[in-house]
C-alpha cells in the first residue's frame, strides 16, 4: 500500500510530461511551417524576380493575391479539425504543403508562380497556428488547452530568426530552384511524421465538455456572445493589420529615420527572440491570467514599443527597446488570439471559429503593406509608424467592449408597480 502510494506522484508527473508532448511537437512543426511556408519568401522572392522577368513590386503582388485567396481555406481546415481531429488534417496538410513548396522550383512566369504559392498557402491553412491550436484543444490531456497553446507559440517565435539566415545560406550554396526543393523536402521529412505521432491519443467528448473540468473559464451566453464575437474580431483585425506592415516596411521606415539598412535589419532580428521571451513570461503567469487580460497586456506592450519608436526611434537604444517591446507584445498576442476565443466561446466549434476569424483577418489585412508603403513614400517613415500606432490604438479601444464572461450580467429588478 505504502509503495503504491509513493508511486502515484511519479506516475502523475509522467502523465503530465507525456501530455506536454503534443504541444512541443506542434511547436517544432510551427518553426518549420512558418519558416518554410512564410519567411522563406522574404529571402527568395527578390532573387526570383529577375529570373521570372518580374519587378519586385510585381512578384510581391503575386504573393499578396495568393495569400488572400489561400486564406479562404482556413474555415474548411477548422471544420475538418472539429469533425475528424487534427491528426489527419495536419498530416495531410503537411504532405500537401511540402509537395507544393517543391513546385516553386518549376516556376517559369507569373501564372506558374501564382499557382504554386496559392497551393502552398491553401495547404498552410491546414498546418499553421489556427489548426494547431484547435488540434491540441481536441486532445483529452491533463494540460489545459491554454497552456498547450502557449507552449506551441514558444517555438514559433524563432522561425524568422532561424529561417532567414538558413534560407539565405542555402541560396548562396545552390540556386533558388534547388533551395525550394530542399526546403519542401525538409518540411515533408520533419512534419508529416511529427503531426501523425504527436497528435495521436484520445480526444475530448465535445458534447460533455460543459460538465468537465477542462473548461477553464465560463463562456459568454445570449446577446453577450454575439457582442463578444463582434468586438473581438474587430479588435483582432486592427491589431493584426500591423503584422504585414511591420514585416515589409520595418527596414525601409527605420532607414527613413536615418538608420543604416544593417542596423534596421539588426533591430528587426531582435523582434523574433523577444516574441519567445514574451511567450515564456506569459507561460509563467498564464495559470491565473484571464485571456482577455493577456490580450490587453499584449496590446499594451506593442503600443509601448511604437510610442518608444516615435519618441526616440532615431537613436540606436531607442529602436532596440522599441523592437523588444513590440516583439514581446506581438508574441503574447499570438497566444491570446488562440486562448481568448476558447475562453469566451468554449471548445465546441473552436476549430471552425478560428478558421473564420483567420479568414476575416487575412482578407482585411491584405491591403496593409500597400497602404503603409504609400504613407512611407508620401510622408516618410515616422508618419507611417505614427499611423500604425493609431491603428493599434483603435484595436485597444475596441477591445474594451469585449464582454468579460466572468462578470455576471446586470439584470434589472422587476418592479410590479
Mean per-residue pLDDT for 73-96?
92
Residue among 269, 36, 33 nearest 155 (CA): 33
Q: How confident is the model at residue 411 (pLDDT cuts 50, 70, 90)?
A: very low
Mean per-residue pLDDT for 259-285?
82
Unique residue bearing C-alpha cell 511567450: 279
Mean per-residue pLDDT for 43-49?
85
Q: How confident is the model at residue 99 (pLDDT cuts 50, 70, 90)?
A: very high
Class of domain 223-399: mainly alpha
Equal fold, 18-203 vs 223-399 = yes
Q: What angle do CA 385, 393, 303 make, to 5 degrees?
A: 60
Query: What are the domain boundaries of the chain?
Result: 18-203, 223-399
Q: How confident is the model at residue 215 (pLDDT cuts 50, 70, 90)?
A: very low
The CATH code for residues 18-203 is 1.20.1250.20
Q: SS3 helix, strand, coil % of the chain, rounded to 5?
A: 80, 0, 20
* Terminal CA-CA length for the chain: 68
Contact indicator for 326, 347 with CB cutoff of 8 Å: no
Kindly tell me the sign of the dihedral angle through the C-alpha atoms of 117, 118, 119, 122: positive
Q: How confident is the model at residue 211 (pLDDT cuts 50, 70, 90)?
A: very low
Q: Cα–Cα distance between 177 and 174 in angstroms, integer? A: 8
- Say what the pTM is: 0.77
List pLDDT tens digits, range 353-371.
888 888 888 888 777 777 7
Q: How far is CA 21 from CA 35, 131, 203, 373, in A?
A: 21, 17, 15, 42
Unique residue bearing C-alpha cell 481531429: 85
List pLDDT tens digits, range 298-313.
999 999 999 999 999 9
Q: Cα–Cα distance between 67 and 416 in angstroms, integer? A: 59
The 3-state DSSP class for residue 54 equals coil
Mean per-residue pLDDT for 324-342?
90
H-type alpha helices, 52-158: 56-70, 74-84, 86-103, 110-124, 129-138, 145-156
What pLDDT, on the 0 to 100 scale, is given for residue 408?
Answer: 63
What pLDDT, on the 0 to 100 scale, is given for residue 70?
Answer: 85
What would the grid cell of residue 168 be?
Answer: 539565405
Amino acid at each position: 500500500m505504502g509503495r503504491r502510494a509513493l508511486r502515484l506522484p511519479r506516475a502523475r508527473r509522467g502523465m503530465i510530461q507525456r501530455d506536454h508532448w503534443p504541444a512541443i511537437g506542434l511547436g517544432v512543426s510551427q518553426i518549420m511551417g512558418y519558416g518554410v511556408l512564410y519567411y522563406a519568401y522574404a529571402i527568395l522572392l527578390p532573387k526570383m524576380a529577375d529570373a521570372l522577368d518580374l519587378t519586385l513590386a510585381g512578384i510581391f503582388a503575386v504573393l499578396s493575391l495568393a495569400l488572400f485567396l489561400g486564406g479562404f481555406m482556413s474555415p474548411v481546415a477548422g471544420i475538418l479539425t472539429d469533425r475528424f481531429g487534427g491528426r489527419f488534417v495536419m498530416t495531410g496538410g503537411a504532405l500537401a504543403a511540402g509537395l507544393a513548396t517543391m513546385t516553386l522550383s518549376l516556376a517559369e512566369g507569373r501564372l506558374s508562380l501564382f499557382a504554386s504559392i496559392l497551393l502552398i498557402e491553401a495547404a498552410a491553412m491546414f498546418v499553421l497556428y489556427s489548426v494547431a491550436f484547435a488540434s491540441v484543444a481536441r486532445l483529452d490531456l491533463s494540460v489545459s488547452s491554454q497552456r498547450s497553446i502557449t507552449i506551441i507559440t514558444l517555438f514559433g517565435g524563432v522561425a524568422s530568426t532561424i529561417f532567414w539566415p538558413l534560407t539565405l545560406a542555402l541560396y548562396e550554396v545552390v540556386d533558388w530552384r534547388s533551395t525550394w526543393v530542399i526546403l519542401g523536402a525538409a518540411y515533408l521529412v520533419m512534419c508529416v511524421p511529427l503531426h501523425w505521432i504527436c497528435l495521436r491519443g484520445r480526444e475530448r467528448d465535445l458534447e460533455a465538455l460543459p460538465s468537465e473540468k477542462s473548461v477553464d473559464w465560463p463562456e459568454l451566453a445570449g446577446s453577450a456572445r454575439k457582442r463578444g464575437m463582434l468586438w473581438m474580431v474587430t479588435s483582432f483585425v486592427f491589431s493584426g493589420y500591423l503584422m504585414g506592415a511591420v514585416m515589409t516596411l520595418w527596414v525601409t521606415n527605420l532607414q527613413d529615420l536615418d538608420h543604416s539598412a544593417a542596423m534596421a535589419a539588426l533591430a528587426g532580428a531582435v523582434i523574433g527572440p523577444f516574441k519567445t521571451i514574451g511567450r515564456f513570461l506569459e507561460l509563467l503567469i498564464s495559470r491565473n491570467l484571464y485571456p482577455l487580460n493577456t490580450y490587453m497586456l499584449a496590446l499594451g506592450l506593442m503600443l509601448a514599443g511604437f510610442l518608444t519608436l516615435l519618441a526616440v526611434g532615431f537613436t540606436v537604444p531607442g529602436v532596440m527597446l522599441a523592437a523588444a517591446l513590440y516583439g514581446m507584445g506581438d508574441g503574447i498576442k499570438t497566444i491570446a488570439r488562440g486562448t481568448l476565443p476558447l475562453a469566451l466561446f468554449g471548445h465546441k466549434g473552436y476549430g471552425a471559429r478560428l478558421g473564420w476569424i483567420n479568414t476575416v483577418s487575412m482578407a482585411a489585412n491584405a491591403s496593409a503593406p500597400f497602404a503603409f508603403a504609400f504613407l512611407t513614400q508620401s510622408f516618410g517613415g515616422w508618419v507611417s509608424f505614427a499611423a500604425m500606432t493609431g491603428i493599434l490604438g483603435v484595436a485597444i479601444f475596441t477591445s474594451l467592449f469585449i464582454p468579460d464572461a466572468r462578470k455576471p450580467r446586470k439584470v434589472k429588478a422587476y418592479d410590479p408597480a
